[in-house]
Chain A
Amino acid sequence: MSVDEKFDAIIVGAGPAGSACAYTLAKAGKSVLMIERGNTPGSKNITGGRVYTYALELLEPGIWEEAALERRVTHEQMMMINKEQTVKIDFSNPAYNPKGYLPQSFTVLRAVFDEWLAAKAEERGVILACGIKVDDIIVDSGRVVGVKAGADEMFADVVIAADGVNSLIAQKAGLFKDIEAQTVGVGVKEVIELPAKTIEERFNLRNGEGTALLILGCTEGIHGGGFLYTNKESISLGCVFTPTEVTEKKRQIHDIFQDLKMHPGIYPLLEGGQTVEYGAHLVREAGFRGIPQKLYKDGLIVIGEAAGFVINVGYSIRGIDLAIVSGIAAAQAVISGKELGSAYMTELANLKLLPSMKAVDSYFELLEISRLYSTYPKVATNILDVLFRVDGKEPPAVKNEMMKILKENKLSMWQLLKDGLRGFKSI
């Protein structure tokens, strides 16, 4: 192989991390080969989900205006369900969507978004090779010098693993072991088509506005929760479960998810719609503490979810923005010409990725409280039931009823205070 055929960088995976990295490198004049196993970028990917726009702005100011986005999120909602009962909080702040300025976040569909972002990288000169699966890395004297796909070998100064949650490339490189089951959630999702007008009426949205909804109490007590995002002409409804707890329940996650779809608090939002796709994906749940100790070795850097960059604080979930930022960080490290590993870690810190993840690391302890997933949604709906019930009889003293509810749910005042304190300390 001649020197001419060697790239400055080979990127494995054309998701948001890979494409952001490729884009930034190519903009700086680097030769980049980006390899994607799917037929098109995004064809293997699933999101909830949404993208926070600051990351796109960091990639290229103004690029969001032409991005393949769905709806700008104007309504942040949380829901707790218990049997047939529902509690919902709806928060909206126009400051997240100032007129004429960049909205804070948009809902997205990955097959659409990833393909757009990869095409932007191609416009900058990146060579995108789809339908090719990288099988292994090529190592020479301890240094990663390229990748193998079937009988083909491709070489580069640096290989960037942007191959997603399962991070098989980093495992091949011996950088870290396979992911531990208790550090991931398994998410399932249906995309349900509905006319834009119907979505806007049902969610009280104006043209182009969108809702992000997270749901507690729909997982049979398993750590996890549901999500619903409004797209332009579809709804993404899904649910994430800690797989290690699913086995104990002896119920299939697909089955539990179907119950959520038919729940009286959810079904009316979907009624008349048509499911057009069913997807599943793992997602890292361990946050900052789940990031592998080392994200690089000689000739190799790991970015995006392969590196564990996901933030889940219970009321919002971030992954795509962190993927983009980590791609930019890796590219800047390569461009700097400095020692790659330490330059990458410095960039991750400078771009506030690692500090952001560290700042919410203790949320992990809050979300560990198993009562969040069953007991508290029950208590909340039971108490509201006492408050709102009018049947012509003499209403009971609310405080007595509340004590009764706590007792029924095997919750002592002491436990409640302890969880409250633990939660408060975590946030």
Chain B
Amino acid sequence: MSIKPMDAANLLGLNKFEVDEEEPHIVLDHEKCKPCQEKPCLFVCPAVLYTLDKSGVISFDYAGCLECGTCRVMCKNKGIVKWVYPRGTFGVNYRYG
């Protein structure tokens, strides 16, 4: 191993996560996201969890979420209809921080 540019998925793979399979802590309303022109979530999420699928619809996976809150404060059309921290014990577990 040495230092090299890593994509977000590989970086997230280094972290310890406990994914809450039952209850997503962030939920989108795609109807609200559709008319959003800027789609800041595509660029500001440090984990790059927001992507566009082939049909131009936002695709989102909460599993690698670092719980920073940037998407919530940047969301323009309020398409993020739920943003809470994961339930106790779930989510990212920083070992260094």
Chain A interface residues toward B at CB < 8 A: 37-40, 42-47, 109-114, 131-133, 135, 149-150, 165-166, 168, 178-181, 184, 186, 188, 190-192, 234, 236, 243-244, 246-247, 249-254, 258-259, 261-262, 267, 270-282
Contacts and interface: CB of A to CB of B under 8 A. Distances in A.
B93 interface: yes
Contact of A262 (B5, B89, B91): B5
Contacts of B55: none
A261 B5 contact: yes
Given A46-B94, A179-B73, A186-B46, A246 B40 contact: yes
A270 B3 contact: yes
B68 A254 contact: no
Nearest to B64: A278
Interface residues of B, number: 43
Contacts of B81: none
B68 A133 contact: no
B97 A46 contact: yes
Nearest to A165: B69
A247 B44 CA distance: 7
Dominant secondary structure of chain B at its interface with chain A: loop
Contacts of A247: 38, 40, 43-44, 74
Contacts of A251: 43
Contacts of B96: 109-112, 191, 234, 236, 276-277, 279
B63 interface: no
A251 B45 CA distance: 11
B85 A281 contact: no
Contacts of B28: none
A44 B90 CA distance: 10
Contacts of A252: 8, 42-43, 45, 48
Interface in B56-97: 66-70, 72-74, 84-89, 91-97
Contacts of B52: none
Given A181-B73, A184-B73, A278-B66, 9 more contacts: A38-B93, A44-B92, A166-B69, A254-B11, A258-B6, A262-B3, A270-B3, A277-B15, A280-B47
A267 B44 CA distance: 24
The interface centre, meaning the residue of B70, B84, B91, B95 with most chain A CB atoms within 10 A of its CB, is: B70
Contacts of B11: 190, 254, 275, 278
A278 B14 contact: yes
18 contacts: A40-B93, A43-B93, A43-B97, A110-B94, A112-B96, A133-B87, A236-B96, A246-B43, A246-B44, A247-B40, A258-B5, A258-B6, A262-B3, A271-B2, A273-B3, A275-B3, A279-B97, A280-B66
Contacts of A47: 97
The interface centre, meaning the residue of B1, B14, B94 with most chain A CB atoms within 10 A of its CB, is: B94
Contacts of A149: 88
A280 to B, nearest CB: 4
A236 B94 CA distance: 13
A111 B97 contact: yes
Contact of A112 (B38, B73, B92, B97): B97
Nearest to B73: A181
Contacts of B91: 44
Contacts of A188: 46
